Amino acid sequence: MIQLDVDIPDRPGEFAKILRTLAAEKINIDAISANSGAGRSYVSLITDQPIKARQSLAKAGYECVQRTVLVISLPDMPGAFASLAHKLGDAGIDILSVVQLENMGDHVQLAISVDNLDGARALV
């Protein structure tokens, strides 16, 4: 799965511009995460058309970083993700981002970006 990370100015209307850009191209957002700090906003997107989304955002003047993310399913219970994060950390693998995809009964599905995808796959 491909995740796009977009760094935008933290000001009114910027987030709406990204959403309008994708909507105009009929690109659906499957999952999104966003936060702000130090005058910038950081948006992580998973869309149904990641290549077209990246091209559309670039055309609108936004710089995107594309990451391949690992999709995992964990029990929806306290400590499940902590256990995996500890396991990854012990192996020297850094978690760069997390986007929750969906809850499925007693499990939660997450998209995680790591600095060593192959190493993370071997541990999951």
* 3-16 confidence digits (pLDDT tens): 999 999 889 999 99
At residue 32, φ and ψ (nearest 5 deg) are -150, 145
Tell me, what's the pLDDT at 38? 86
The whole-angstrom separation of Cα 67 and Cα 86 is 22
> pLDDT tens for residues 90-120?
999 999 999 999 998 999 999 999 999 999 9
Q: Where are the domains of the chain?
A: 2-67, 69-123
Query: What would be the CATH architecture of the domain defined by 2-67?
Result: 2-Layer Sandwich (3.30)
Question: Is it the case that residue 82 has pLDDT exceeding 90?
Answer: yes
Can you read off the two tokens belonging to residue 23? 């909507």
CATH code of the region 69-123: 3.30.70.260
Question: Is it the case that residue 39 has pLDDT exceeding 90?
Answer: no
Distant-in-sequence, close-in-space partners of 115: CB < 8 Å, separation ≥ 6:
93, 94, 96
Per-residue pLDDT averaged across 68-92, rounded?
A: 96
Strands 107-114 and 95-104: what pairing?
Answer: antiparallel
The whole-angstrom separation of Cα 61 and Cα 37 is 21
Per-residue pLDDT averaged across 67-90, rounded?
A: 95
Question: Is it the case that residue 46 has pLDDT exceeding 90?
Answer: yes
DSSP reduced 3-state for 19: helix
At residue 119, φ and ψ (nearest 5 deg) are -65, -40
Tell me, what's the pLDDT at 124? 87
Question: Is it the case that residue 75 has pLDDT exceeding 90?
Answer: yes
Q: Do domains 2-67 and 69-123 have the same CATH topology?
A: no
Nearest to 30 by CA among 108, 114, 102: 102
Tell me, what's the pLDDT at 54? 96
